[in-house]
Amino acid sequence: MAERGLKPASSASSGALPAEPVRPRGLAVVRVPLRGGGGRAAVWGAVGVLVVMGAAAVFAPWLAPQDPIATDTTAVSLPPGSPGHPLGTDDLGRDLCARMLFGARSSLLVGLVAGVITVVAGTALGALAAAGPRWLDAAVTRTADALLALPLIVVALALAAVAGASLTTVVLAIVVTAWMPVALIARAEIRALRERPFVRAAYSLGLSRGRVFLRHLVPNALPPIASIAAFEVGHAILTESTLSFLGLGVPPNRPSWGNLLTDARSHLLSGQWYTVALPAAAIVVTIIAVNVIATGLDRHEAAEGRTW
C-alpha cells in the first residue's frame, strides 16, 4: 500500500525519491466506512440514531411538552401515554418527556465536549512526547502511567469539593482521567511513522522537522486516533451518567440522564419502572451507536492493510 503523504514515484524514475510531498488525506477515513461493504447498514443506523438524539437535544425547548423542572401535584406518577404527558410523570409530577429531552442536552453536551478535549489534549501530548526530547517523552509517559492508576471517583470527589458539582467539574474529571490512552496511542503511532521510508524521503528532500511533523507524521497518525475518539465520546457520556447518578456530576436541578436515574432509583422494583427504563435505554442506545461507529472506523483502518 502506498504511504499517505507523498506522491508515488513514476515508472520512469523507479527507485528515485518522490518529487514532491503532498498533504495527506487525514481524516478521510471517517467517511469511508459509511460507503463500505459489511456493516454499512449498522454504521448508517448508528449515525441515524445519533442524529435523532442530537436533534432532540438541540430542539428540546420546542419539542418538550412541559417545563422539565415544573412540578404538578395533580399529575403525580402518571404512566406513559397519559394525556399531555406522552412518557408519563415522576413522583413529583414532572413531565418525563421534557426531562428526557433536556437531559439529552446535558449528557450529550458533556460527552461531546469532554470527548473532544480528551482527544485533542491526548493527541497533542502524545505527539510532543514522540517528537520532543527524551525528558519530555519520559515526563508524558510517566504522568500517563501514574494517572492510569488514579480512580475516576477520587478525581471527581476532589474537583467537586473544590469547585462544586457542575458541568465543568464533570468535563474536567473526564479529561483528567481519560487523556492517557489517546496520548500513548498517538505517541506509539508517531514513533513508528518516523522510521517509515516515506518520512525519511521527506527529510532527504530538505523539509524541516516541523513541516514533516505537521504534514506527514501527525496526519498519518490520525486514522487510528479517529476510532478511539469515538470510543472516548461514548466513554464520556457513560461517565457523566455515572457521576451524576452518584451525585458528583450535573447539579440535581439540571436534568441529565444520570440525574433521572438517581431520581428514579427508589422506583426500580415498583410500578414506576418506566422512570428507570427510559433514561437507562437512552444511555445504552447512545453508547451502542457510538461504539458501532468507532468499530466501523477501526475495521476500515485494519482493512487498509496498515503495516506500521
Mean pLDDT across 123-141: 91
Residue 21 has pLDDT above 60, yes or no: no
* Torsion, Cα of 117, 123, 124, 127 (10° steps): 180
Residue 37 has pLDDT above 50, yes or no: no
Domain boundaries, the chain: 110-308
Burial-class residue 294 by CB neighbours within 10 Å (0-12, 13-18, 19+).
buried
Query: What does the DSSP 8-state code read for residue 217?
Result: I
User: Tens of pLDDT along 220-254?
Assistant: 888 788 888 888 888 888 888 888 888 888 888 88
Q: Which three cell numbers stand for residue 245?
A: 447518578
User: Tens of pLDDT along 88-111?
Assistant: 999 889 999 999 999 999 999 999
Q: Which three cell numbers stand for residue 6?
A: 507523498
Task: Give the residue carrying C-alpha cell 418525563.
Answer: 96
CB 246, CB 153: distance < 8 Å:
yes
pLDDT of residue 302: 66
Query: What does the DSSP 8-state code read for residue 252?
Result: T
Q: CATH topology for 110-308?
A: MetI-like fold (1.10.3720)
User: Tens of pLDDT along 183-223?
Assistant: 999 999 888 888 788 888 877 777 777 778 778 787 888 87
Please list the alpha-helical segments (H only) found in the chain. 40-58, 60-63, 96-131, 134-148, 152-163, 167-193, 197-204, 209-212, 218-245, 257-264, 274-303
- Is the pTM higher than 0.85? The answer reads no
How far, in Å, CA of 196 to CA of 185, rounded? Answer: 17
How far, in Å, CA of 257 to CA of 99, rounded? Answer: 8
